[in-house]
Structure 1
């Protein structure tokens, strides 16, 4: 086997491989012998078909099959001999494929980039610090009450926060438009589910009222024939209902897993959940800042094959999230929706892998189990969840990857200047959300610049 490697770009290689004709012909002859023993042809007993007939009938297909196998085998040998680390699958194309001549083929592949990791030394990173106060717990309990609120009919004018049951029909001029009508629709005023201005004009309405509402559809409205158009809605109000919050009694408390309905245990459980939420939010914000700094300090040429693989994974996640079913063809989802996120994920993954490699990081079974136990605290039977994590290789590897990622981030934080900043519970959550939104926006701008 003769191999030559051409560097066509920073991460692309073009390998030309020659396989001796004798090796190919010998493999084809052996496969034809196997074929002759098992095929059936009218007029011949099985295993007694003349080789000339077998070659004439099956020779082309057998050669194609053998050549395909040989190209794959010699490709693997070639990249092993040349110490190439492919990112994804190659494109393999035969160049010379004739009986009696050396087989020649070309494999084009992307390789993992060589990364000379730059330090994030001197980067300033804010680490939020927050204590959960009694007022925070009270507010969370009010939120939980609101989530379980029920609407009860009232004999008064509708206010923001009330629910109205309405019939409505929309008109452009004097003509009703498709999709602009409904009967018995329940709408919470202030939910901003309808066109801007619609809900506000229902404030003050009572059961039995007829209202005429005029609104203008936003310029970016999804239905193009309505975008920017002024519309009139004729509305019939059937019922006004006010939100009734449940009492924080034993029955309410039991809904959250506190079986004896004890109020002090309930508050302790709420606080523990909030502390876990704050801890996760702080970790996410600090990690995001470290990863942002890592990306800014290091330019990496990202293999398209890895981006394509990540894009496909994101598509499958989206399909599951929206309940599209296991048989949904994810190729129907446009790549453009996921490409930016995929590129960033791959780039971060490559950089973190280099941090892990350079620092010789690893995660022991004890560390993996400890993380599994931490994750399992949110379930009713944590022991069973931990057992499931540790016995399932795929789940266990996912947890191990998360532990290694956190260790890599800790190494980055050792290089940075970490400053603790006091915040309230709400401020911590908002800061984490803003950090993620800023990262998403920067990711989009970076992609636009490259485009």
Structure 2
């Protein structure tokens, strides 16, 4: 076998691989000898079929198998021997001329094919002890815990049936039917729907027209759907709703006590407060970690400047660009509305894609050199978390990760990245700084995906790329919205 390098420009490589016909013939003869003893052909005893006859019947199919094996397996071996890693799956090209292909399969010509790929650049790791970050932490007050517990208590409060007119704060049970231009629309009907007046759950103007109604009352109300309403067929439209009030109930007093906790499945009010405090700590902790991570990535970005494989950058850019255009379409906005142009946005997001790919390669190298790995148990936990996000689609999700090449990387990558971050945080200079929750949660424009302008960020302010290529996970099916005043949701 002969390997000839025909291209070596930057990270791009192209190899021409030649397998002599004699080598193919030798492998085919070995395979034919194996087949000869197993094949069953009428008129011949087992193992006594002449080799020439076996070759005549199965020669081309056996040669095709050998060619496929060589084309499939040899490139990886060759790259390993060259000490190279391909950034993406190498592109294989071979003759498409039927006459030439037939000649190869007949053993009359050498097999020639090319392998084109981009290498992952060699990364020389630098000391990280010069990285300095500020870790913002929040002291959680008893007042904040009590505020959250009060909200939980309000959501769990009971209601007592009352006589008389409904007031703000009362819960109304009703049937309704929504119409546009006198025609009922899908999702605009519900029975025994419950609505707490003043909650703001339904579209503007709906709840206010229920104030003053009492059980047994019927009323037709008129509202206008917001211009930005998700259902495009209803956005900006005037609609009427036929309302029948079935019950009015007044809210009971809110009390934070052991009885409330037990209603929520906990043993005591103290346990409820403990859990709420833990949830708040977790929420703030996630924000703190993301800010620390952002600082680390920004400094790594300054430390490592090298050419990123263009195909990886192209793929990352396409992911970002697809999300950006989806978001703009859903919001009904344009690039001009975001104070930019499509050309400027493309340039900015291309820069972001390059940064993500470069940092992903750096983190991957750091993790590999440190011997960081993702355990099977961690992968199973990640898969279980995915299943919890898509109730009712468990089998579909499992089959997706089982049958989609590379899909498991979307589970592995974030775990691996967080473990690399843990290692970096243990080695760099971290200074804790106590801040208010307002400071912690404030947008950190300077820390965003540089150099993307705020006007063009929106959802592409997504997290940095993971260290592995990802396959898109199966999309979550649209959950049925709470039935309310329009298409299942007038909220």
Q: Alpha-carbon deviations, 1:50-97, whole Å to 9, x = none?
A: 223322222221111111112233212321232220134223233365
Give the Cα–Cα distance (whole angstroms) in 2 for the partners of residues 11 and 192 of structure 1. 57
The residue number in structure 1 matching 2:287 is 281
Give the Cα–Cα distance (whole angstroms) in 2 for the partners of residues 343 and 201 of structure 1. 54
Give the Cα–Cα distance (whole angstroms) in 2 for the partners of residues 258 and 223 of structure 1. 40
Q: Alpha-carbon deviations, 1:336-379, whole Å to 9, x = none?
A: xxx9999886554223234557xx545699xx99xx9xxxxxxx
CA contact (8 A) 2:363 2:417 kept: no
1:334-353 alignment to 2 at 5 Å? 347-353=358-364
Report the TM-score when normalising by structure 1.
0.68
CA contact (8 A) 2:149 2:272 kept: no
Residues 345 and 244 of structure 1: is their aligned pair in 2 closer, same or farther, counting only changes over 3 Å? farther
Q: Alpha-carbon deviations, 1:386-442, whole Å to 9, x = none?
A: xxxxxxxx999986753322223566x64x9x6835214x76456699989987645
The residue number in structure 2 matching 1:48 is 48
Give the Cα–Cα distance (whole angstroms) in 2 for the partners of residues 197 and 34 of structure 1. 82
Give the Cα–Cα distance (whole angstroms) in 1 for the partners of residues 53 and 316 of structure 2. 45
Per the TM alignment, residue 272 of structure 1 is displaced from its structure 2 partner at its CA by 4.4
Count of aligned pairs between the two proteins: 388
Give the Cα–Cα distance (whole angstroms) in 2 for the partners of residues 189 and 8 of structure 1. 70
CA contact (8 A) 1:158 1:164 kept: yes
Residues 182 and 253 of structure 1: is their aligned pair in 2 closer, same or farther, counting only changes over 3 Å? closer
Q: Alpha-carbon deviations, 1:197-234, whole Å to 9, x = none?
A: 32333344332333332222333444433333222222
Give the Cα–Cα distance (whole angstroms) in 1 for the partners of residues 121 and 199 of structure 2. 49
> Considering only aligned residues, what root-mean-square deviation do their CA atoms show, in Å?
4.7
Return the match for 1:301 from 308, 311, 315.
308
Secondary structure class of the residue paired with 1:227: coil
Per the TM alignment, residue 190 of structure 1 is displaced from its structure 2 partner at its CA by 4.6
Give the Cα–Cα distance (whole angstroms) in 2 for the partners of residues 78 and 154 of structure 1. 81
Return the match for 2:141 from 120, 133, 136.
133
Return the match for 1:291 from 286, 292, 297.
297
The reply on whether 1:105 has 2:99 as its aligned counterpart is: no
The residue number in structure 2 matching 1:224 is 232
Give the Cα–Cα distance (whole angstroms) in 1 for the partners of residues 90 and 373 of structure 2. 35
Residues 77 and 267 of structure 1: is their aligned pair in 2 closer, same or farther, counting only changes over 3 Å? closer
Per the TM alignment, residue 10 of structure 1 is displaced from its structure 2 partner at its CA by 4.7
CA contact (8 A) 1:212 1:232 kept: yes
Give the Cα–Cα distance (whole angstroms) in 1 for the partners of residues 206 and 8 of structure 2. 60
The residue number in structure 1 matching 2:92 is 92
Which blocks of at least 5 consecutive residues in structure 1 are unaligned?
A: 313-338, 373-393
Q: Alpha-carbon deviations, 1:130-153, whole Å to 9, x = none?
A: 212221221232233234334443
Q: Alpha-carbon deviations, 1:14-49, whole Å to 9, x = none?
A: 221112222111111111221222222233332222
The residue number in structure 2 matching 1:422 is 435
1:183-202 alignment to 2 at 5 Å? 183-202=191-210
Give the Cα–Cα distance (whole angstroms) in 1 for the partners of residues 186 and 73 of structure 2. 61
Give the Cα–Cα distance (whole angstroms) in 1 for the partners of residues 225 and 126 of structure 2. 51
Give the Cα–Cα distance (whole angstroms) in 2 for the partners of residues 435 and 284 of structure 1. 10
Give the Cα–Cα distance (whole angstroms) in 1 for the partners of residues 195 and 36 of structure 2. 75
Give the Cα–Cα distance (whole angstroms) in 1 for the partners of residues 30 and 36 of structure 2. 10
Residues 203 and 29 of structure 1: is their aligned pair in 2 closer, same or farther, counting only changes over 3 Å? farther
Return the match for 2:245 from 237, 240, 243.
237
Residues 409 and 110 of structure 1: is their aligned pair in 2 closer, same or farther, counting only changes over 3 Å? farther
CA contact (8 A) 1:86 1:111 kept: yes
Residues 401 and 230 of structure 1: is their aligned pair in 2 closer, same or farther, counting only changes over 3 Å? closer
Give the Cα–Cα distance (whole angstroms) in 1 for the partners of residues 277 and 179 of structure 2. 51
CA contact (8 A) 2:28 2:62 kept: yes
Residues 136 and 7 of structure 1: is their aligned pair in 2 closer, same or farther, counting only changes over 3 Å? farther
CA contact (8 A) 2:178 2:185 kept: yes
CA contact (8 A) 2:166 2:210 kept: yes
Give the Cα–Cα distance (whole angstroms) in 1 for the partners of residues 257 and 446 of structure 2. 36
Deviates more, 1:65-74 or 1:162-171: 162-171
CA contact (8 A) 1:352 1:408 kept: no
The reply on whether 1:403 has 2:419 as its aligned counterpart is: yes
CA contact (8 A) 2:159 2:171 kept: yes
The reply on whether 1:180 has 2:180 as its aligned counterpart is: no
Give the Cα–Cα distance (whole angstroms) in 1 for the partners of residues 445 and 211 of structure 2. 32
Secondary structure class of the residue paired with 2:44: coil
The reply on whether 1:21 has 2:34 as its aligned counterpart is: no
Residues 311 and 172 of structure 1: is their aligned pair in 2 closer, same or farther, counting only changes over 3 Å? same
Q: Alpha-carbon deviations, 1:284-313, whole Å to 9, x = none?
A: 22223433564577576356469869999x
Give the Cα–Cα distance (whole angstroms) in 2 for the partners of residues 434 and 176 of structure 1. 50
